[in-house]
Structure 1
């Protein structure tokens, strides 16, 4: 009987790990590829470069569980945290290109690259494909005078630099605020909430609104504490179809602001291996139970062919690079 998904407990990255990977050699790759088909002979380890139980970890584990069901081998999870995710991801980059170590890549890394923090790009690895995605949302308090996004925009135009929008410097929500400012010709008072939880700041009236992942604000929308003015997406959020999307609100350049996650493999990983893991993502993404579990936490599986994924990554790296100039000038 197929063994269940092996969930390795979160581990903190230690200096001792930095010496292993690039010096290793392996014959496994050639032995496990026959007639252009990869047949794994050992467990596939997915490095999640964020803490166990977090907003990135939980949906990735759900997908890994259903990928595990689609293969005769085991899919393992290892959490290696540190440096905004770069520690774990760079450990993957040093690993052998044999198909047994891959890592979760987030849109946050593209943003870090645009700001000169993360050095790696798709040319430094072998992107495999999307895994999961979620959308950001714009929220205000339930007693806010802004009933709609148009209300917020009009008020920002009337009082430049006065409406307080919370974010954290160098994060995706800040890029979202900057994109709204650019497209609508407005200026917010961008309040840096580094070290502070966003929800209490809004509940306490210290800010007028903020952007965050829909999953992070969903409980406050459901409780009636927050009003959601818009979701940064082209398709409605399942179960919240009454909340307008940015497409419906007339925004244009927002696609790069998706909270996308994908899987990457070390540079020079053979194509049959990339295809094999991409196919596991495809099978998991079509599993009704997987879809339901992810929807319950406001995520959804996402699958494309590798070539499309690389095209999207290239476009997103360019978009973030352009948007980063506004951050640098802050």
Structure 2
């Protein structure tokens, strides 16, 4: 079951290049009049993957539609997305002027009922902008030089090694750590995992040697490296080697550890948003992702192409919710009652 599931699956000068790739200003499509200024909710602290998602969405839209809508970045931390989801589901936040960042980790939490009493149908997925991938990273001066060193250490009591990332037990970063411990023949329930409100805090903790291993995502780790955090990547959790900044990083699979973890990065609206307005947002993002410079923009943000909108996106989300629920059961995670 695990392997079936896991196999599924940067900016001023760049914006000028994107705009040039779209032709002259008078040739660009007019912005949809139904879309006004909007908030892009970052449901965690600054510096993690949700902040990256909102920044990418803003830059992509501005390159194609330079007048509007403008996506204002707004932090709303709490439960790695739980607070934002609750406020959207309860009607405190919502409408066509509020987009919320989500990831595969959000879907994993929803599948376990960890986002409160509201069903996943309380949100309406609008777009997946691209795909991130899990990474196993350590500090530059860590004794673990390659993944096999970490796996060998995990053959001892797993509690000797401290993992840390965004989320708590049952989150996608915890699941990555659990799968590594299992691959080493250990008991995943015994692993030590320090929870942070976002990947940015976890990476600073790794820099300060407060944790030993960061089982997070590539894009947020690369962003931290640009900000001066010294890391070493032991593995990327993709099916094949990636291009770009991670070209030289071996996959876990090619090192004998069959763990693959893609992470989609997207946005959702309240399910109560009128269909005409949610469709307008889908069209806006579809147009932005089809622009000639979008691939370069994705690369600058450390992401890889996986454009999805409309019915195909809804079908993907529905499928992932089912499969993540099965994975949670397999790992013995508590299923929260709704």
Match of 2:122 among 121, 124, 142: 124
Task: Write the distance in 2 (CA, Å) between the matches of 1:263 and 1:305.
Answer: 10
Instruction: Quote how far apart the aligned CAs of 1:130 are.
Output: 0.7
Task: Tell me if 1:110 matches 2:70.
Answer: no
Counterpart check, 1:61 vs 2:65: no
5+ long unaligned stretches in structure 2: 1-30
Verify the 8 A CA contact 1:137 1:231 in the aligned structure 2: yes
SS in 2 for 1:209: coil
RMSD of the alignment, in Å?
Answer: 3.8
Q: What runs of 5+ residues in structure 1 fail to find an aligned partner?
A: 1-37
Alignment partner, residue 264 of structure 1: 268
2: distance between equivalents of 1:253 and 1:154?
16
By relative contact order (CA 8 Å, sep 6+), the higher-ranking structure is 2
Give the distance between the partners of 1:217 and 1:126, measured in 2 at CA.
29
Residue of structure 2 in register with 1:215 after alignment:
219
Pairing of 1:1-330 with structure 2 (within 5 A): 39-43=32-36, 45-50=38-43, 53-55=46-48, 56-71=50-65, 73-77=68-72, 79=74, 81-84=76-79, 85-93=81-89, 94=91, 99-119=96-116, 120-157=118-155, 159-161=156-158, 163-167=160-164, 169-170=168-169, 171-187=171-187, 190-194=191-195, 197-199=201-203, 202=206, 207-218=211-222, 219-220=224-225, 225-235=230-240, 236-249=242-255, 254-255=260-261, 258-267=262-271, 269=273, 271-287=275-291, 289-300=293-304, 302-325=306-329, 326=331, 328=333
The CA distance in 2 between the partners of 1:96 and 1:198, in whole Å, is: 28
Count how many residue pairs are aligned between Structure 1 and Structure 2.
289
Give the structure-1-normalised TM-score.
0.69
TM-score normalised by the chain length of structure 2:
0.68
Residue 49 of structure 1 deviates from its aligned partner by: 3.8
Inter-CA distance 322–289: structure 2 relative to 1 (3 Å threshold):
same
C-alpha deviation, 1:204, in angstroms? 5.9
* More strand per residue: 1
Instruction: Give the conservation status (yes or no) of the 8 Å contact 2:53–2:265.
Output: no
Shift, 1:48, TM fit: 0.9
